[in-house]
Amino acid sequence: MPERSGPKPTRARRAAPRRVTKQHPSVPPGKSGGSPRDRLRRDPFLFLLSLGVVAFVTWAFALTWWVTGSVVPLGLALVSIVPAFFLFYLRDA
């Protein structure tokens, strides 16, 4: 193959179209995080799940008090009722 002498010919580059980054569609207002009060008010499953957890903890302490007769589990069972009232306050206020 014969070698060419002299400068190499340069090709004119065409401007490539710039890639546009995809913008994610904005999240609808109902699907954003929001405050716990808004989420409890909007999502009944989350409210019932939270209430169920509080009920289970209260039941566990009450059962422990029933079996052992100690005052500490009874006090914890009574104190664990407070978050249930707080959940209703957050949801209904």
Contact 80, 54 (CB under 8 A): yes
What's residue 55's pLDDT? 95
Selected residue with higher pLDDT from 8 and 78: 78
Q: In which band, very low, low, confident or very high, does the pLDDT at 73 lie, cut at 50, 70 and 90?
A: very high
CA dihedral 70, 75, 76, 80 (to 10 degrees): 150
Predicted local distance difference test score (pLDDT) of residue 17: 67
